[in-house]
Protein backbone atom coordinates (compact mmCIF):
# COMPACT_ATOMS: atom_id res chain seq x y z
CA UNK A 1 0.00 0.00 0.00
CA UNK A 2 2.73 2.57 0.79
CA UNK A 3 4.42 1.75 -2.52
CA UNK A 4 1.18 2.39 -4.41
CA UNK A 5 0.72 5.70 -2.61
CA UNK A 6 4.35 6.75 -3.25
CA UNK A 7 4.08 5.91 -6.96
CA UNK A 8 0.83 7.83 -7.27
CA UNK A 9 2.33 10.78 -5.37
CA UNK A 10 5.39 10.81 -7.66
CA UNK A 11 3.15 10.79 -10.75
CA UNK A 12 0.91 13.54 -9.36
CA UNK A 13 3.82 15.79 -8.39
CA UNK A 14 5.57 15.37 -11.75
CA UNK A 15 2.34 16.10 -13.60
CA UNK A 16 1.48 19.09 -11.42
CA UNK A 17 4.84 20.83 -11.63
CA UNK A 18 6.29 19.73 -15.00
CA UNK A 19 3.38 18.16 -16.92
CA UNK A 20 1.58 19.48 -19.98
CA UNK A 21 -0.79 21.60 -17.89
CA UNK A 22 1.64 22.05 -15.00
CA UNK A 23 3.13 25.06 -13.29
CA UNK A 24 6.21 25.19 -15.57
CA UNK A 25 4.13 25.17 -18.77
CA UNK A 26 1.77 27.76 -17.32
CA UNK A 27 4.65 30.15 -16.60
CA UNK A 28 5.92 29.77 -20.16
CA UNK A 29 2.47 30.55 -21.53
CA UNK A 30 2.16 33.61 -19.30
CA UNK A 31 5.52 34.92 -20.56
CA UNK A 32 4.36 34.44 -24.16
CA UNK A 33 1.11 36.22 -23.34
CA UNK A 34 3.05 39.25 -22.05
CA UNK A 35 5.12 39.41 -25.25
CA UNK A 36 2.00 39.12 -27.43
CA UNK A 37 0.22 41.81 -25.41
CA UNK A 38 3.18 44.18 -25.83
CA UNK A 39 3.32 43.53 -29.58
CA UNK A 40 -0.44 44.02 -29.86
CA UNK A 41 -0.10 47.40 -28.17
CA UNK A 42 2.73 48.38 -30.55
CA UNK A 43 0.59 47.46 -33.56
CA UNK A 44 -2.34 49.39 -32.11
CA UNK A 45 -0.11 52.47 -31.73
CA UNK A 46 1.07 52.11 -35.35
CA UNK A 47 -2.56 51.79 -36.47
CA UNK A 48 -3.53 54.95 -34.56
CA UNK A 49 -0.63 56.88 -36.14
CA UNK A 50 -1.57 55.68 -39.63
CA UNK A 51 -5.23 56.61 -39.12
CA UNK A 52 -4.17 60.07 -37.97
CA UNK A 53 -1.92 60.46 -41.01
CA UNK A 54 -4.69 59.21 -43.33
CA UNK A 55 -7.09 61.78 -41.91
CA UNK A 56 -4.49 64.53 -42.31
CA UNK A 57 -3.75 63.53 -45.95
CA UNK A 58 -7.45 63.39 -46.76
CA UNK A 59 -8.56 66.63 -45.04
CA UNK A 60 -5.62 69.01 -44.42
CA UNK A 61 -4.60 71.10 -47.45
CA UNK A 62 -1.14 71.91 -46.03
CA UNK A 63 -0.33 68.22 -45.56
CA UNK A 64 -1.53 67.45 -49.07
CA UNK A 65 0.70 70.23 -50.44
CA UNK A 66 3.70 68.93 -48.46
CA UNK A 67 3.26 65.42 -49.89
CA UNK A 68 2.81 66.87 -53.39
CA UNK A 69 6.11 68.77 -53.06
CA UNK A 70 7.86 65.54 -52.00
CA UNK A 71 6.64 64.07 -55.28
CA UNK A 72 7.94 67.15 -57.22
CA UNK A 73 4.52 68.69 -57.87
CA UNK A 74 4.14 72.49 -57.74
CA UNK A 75 1.24 74.92 -57.73
CA UNK A 76 0.63 77.02 -60.83
CA UNK A 77 2.94 80.03 -60.72
CA UNK A 78 5.22 78.41 -58.16
CA UNK A 79 8.87 77.88 -59.07
CA UNK A 80 10.80 74.76 -58.13
CA UNK A 81 14.51 75.03 -57.38
CA UNK A 82 16.51 71.79 -57.40
CA UNK A 83 19.96 71.69 -55.88
CA UNK A 84 22.44 69.21 -57.28
CA UNK A 85 24.15 66.90 -54.80
CA UNK A 86 21.21 66.56 -52.46
CA UNK A 87 19.43 63.25 -52.27
CA UNK A 88 15.93 62.86 -53.56
CA UNK A 89 12.94 63.08 -51.31
CA UNK A 90 12.74 60.35 -48.73
CA UNK A 91 10.44 57.56 -49.80
CA UNK A 92 7.49 56.86 -47.58
CA UNK A 93 8.08 53.67 -45.60
CA UNK A 94 5.68 52.84 -42.82
CA UNK A 95 6.46 50.70 -39.82
CA UNK A 96 4.09 47.73 -39.75
CA UNK A 97 5.35 45.91 -36.68
CA UNK A 98 7.49 42.82 -36.48
CA UNK A 99 6.79 39.15 -36.99
CA UNK A 100 6.29 37.16 -33.83
CA UNK A 101 6.56 33.39 -33.99
CA UNK A 102 5.08 31.30 -31.26
CA UNK A 103 7.49 29.23 -29.22
CA UNK A 104 6.39 25.69 -28.36
CA UNK A 105 5.88 25.13 -24.65
CA UNK A 106 8.35 22.70 -23.05
CA UNK A 107 6.93 20.13 -20.64
CA UNK A 108 7.47 16.58 -19.42
CA UNK A 109 5.30 14.13 -21.33
CA UNK A 110 2.49 12.22 -19.68
CA UNK A 111 4.05 8.81 -20.34
CA UNK A 112 7.24 9.92 -18.56
CA UNK A 113 5.24 11.03 -15.50
CA UNK A 114 3.37 7.72 -15.40
CA UNK A 115 6.57 5.73 -15.94
CA UNK A 116 8.35 7.62 -13.16
CA UNK A 117 5.41 6.98 -10.82
CA UNK A 118 5.51 3.27 -11.68
CA UNK A 119 9.28 3.07 -11.13
CA UNK A 120 9.04 4.84 -7.77
CA UNK A 121 6.22 2.51 -6.69
CA UNK A 122 8.10 -0.63 -7.76
CA UNK A 123 11.35 0.50 -6.12
CA UNK A 124 9.57 1.24 -2.86
CA UNK A 125 7.72 -2.10 -2.99
CA UNK A 126 11.04 -3.87 -3.56
CA UNK A 127 12.67 -1.93 -0.70
CA UNK A 128 9.80 -2.84 1.64
CA UNK A 129 10.06 -6.48 0.59
CA UNK A 130 13.82 -6.52 1.29
CA UNK A 131 13.21 -4.86 4.65
CA UNK A 132 10.62 -7.52 5.56
CA UNK A 133 12.96 -10.34 4.51
CA UNK A 134 15.90 -8.90 6.48
CA UNK A 135 13.82 -8.63 9.67
CA UNK A 136 12.23 -12.05 9.29
CA UNK A 137 8.69 -10.92 8.57
CA UNK A 138 8.83 -12.75 5.24
CA UNK A 139 10.81 -15.88 4.53
CA UNK A 140 11.81 -17.95 1.52
CA UNK A 141 11.80 -21.26 3.43
CA UNK A 142 8.76 -23.51 3.48
CA UNK A 143 9.16 -24.15 7.19
CA UNK A 144 5.91 -23.56 8.99
CA UNK A 145 6.10 -20.86 11.55
CA UNK A 146 4.34 -21.14 14.85
CA UNK A 147 3.67 -18.84 17.72
CA UNK A 148 5.03 -19.28 21.19
CA UNK A 149 3.56 -18.28 24.48
CA UNK A 150 6.24 -18.00 27.17
CA UNK A 151 8.42 -20.56 25.44
CA UNK A 152 5.62 -23.10 24.74
CA UNK A 153 4.93 -23.62 21.02
CA UNK A 154 1.31 -23.12 19.99
CA UNK A 155 0.11 -25.13 16.98
CA UNK A 156 -2.93 -24.35 14.93
CA UNK A 157 -4.69 -27.73 14.88
CA UNK A 158 -8.12 -28.21 13.41
CA UNK A 159 -10.70 -29.23 16.00
CA UNK A 160 -12.57 -32.47 15.38
Per DSSP, helices labelled H in 60-141 are 61-70, 110-134
Contact 67, 58 (CB under 8 A): no
Distance CA 14, CA 121 (A): 14
CB-based contacts of 107, cutoff 8 Å, min separation 6 = 18, 19, 20, 22, 24, 25
Q: Over the stretch 7-62, which tens digit does the pLDDT of each residue have?
A: 999 999 999 999 999 999 999 999 999 999 999 998 899 899 999 989 988 999 88
The total of structural domains in the chain comes to: 1
pLDDT value for 34: 94
Residue 131 in any domain: the answer is yes
Residue 159 in any domain: the answer is no
The range of the structural domain enclosing residue 85 comes to 2-154
Report the predicted TM-score, pTM, of the whole model to 2 decimal places: 0.58
SS3 135: coil
Amino acid sequence: MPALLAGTLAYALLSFFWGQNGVWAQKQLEAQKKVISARTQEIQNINDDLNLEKTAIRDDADVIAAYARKLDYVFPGEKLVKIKGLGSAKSLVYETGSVLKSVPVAYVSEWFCKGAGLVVGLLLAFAIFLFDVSYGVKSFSKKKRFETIEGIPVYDVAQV
